[in-house]
Amino acid sequence: MIHLNRRAFTLCGLAGLSLAACSNQIGGQGAADLDARVDAARDYLRNNYPSLGELFQNSRGILYMPVVTEAGLFLGAAYGRGALRINDATVDYYQATRASIGLQAGAQQYAHALFFMTEQALSDFRYSPGWAASADLRYAVPTQGGSMGAETTTQFAPVIAVVFGQSGILAGASLSGVKYTRIVP
């Protein structure tokens, strides 16, 4: 059994976040580059998953995270950057981070979008010092060429997450425990 003290855990987590930041090629990017990635993620969702049209139409704001890199070997970390758009205009930039410990091995990249369906959910997100995804988050799972898993109960949820574009060898992509923090790119 491996015993880790708080300092070792923190150092491993920081090292994992550094690796994640390097591998998704965001070091030194400005707002224009980040907006271009967000445009590509938005266009990909609209073109490949037309069943998301109702979410696009009814959301009060959408946070796009075009690339999140996650890696772990017992200790894991994830990192990505994106933009919050209201009426398809960027209003803020955010980073998503997560550290984890447990039985895990591998790496993956994925993208996700958070659809804020109510003004209250959008306000809570924008004006918190750091917003963490919780169990209240509902998932809509798009499938290639098929319908998205958004039932009528999902469409009444305050925040709906769509995870897409997964690649890698780490099974699953959950947003629980991901912390979103406003940044200046």
Q: How far apart are CA 107 and CA 69, in angstroms?
A: 7
Does residue 147 form part of some domain? yes
Q: Which amino acid is at 30?
A: G
138 within a domain of the structure (yes/no): yes
Residue 162 covered by a domain: yes
Q: Is residue 1 part of a domain?
A: no
Helix (H, G, I), strand (E, B) or coil at 170: coil
Structurally, the chain folds into a number of domains equal to 1
Domain that holds residue 53: 6-183
Q: Would residue 160 count as lying in a domain?
A: yes
* 180 DSSP 8-state letter: E
For residue 113, give both structure tokens: 């979008």
Token readout for 86 is 């209201």
Taking only the tens of pLDDT, the chain with its 185 residues reads: 444 444 444 444 444 444 444 444 444 558 999 999 999 999 999 999 888 999 999 999 999 999 999 888 888 899 999 999 999 999 999 999 988 887 777 888 989 999 999 999 999 999 988 887 765 567 765 554 333 444 443 456 899 999 888 887 665 556 767 899 999 87
Amino acid at position 43, single letter:
D
CA proximity to 77, closest of 17, 155, 146, 18: 17
Q: What is the C-alpha radius of gyration for the chain, rounded to an integer number of angstroms? A: 16
Residue 145 lies in a domain: yes
9 DSSP 8-state letter = H
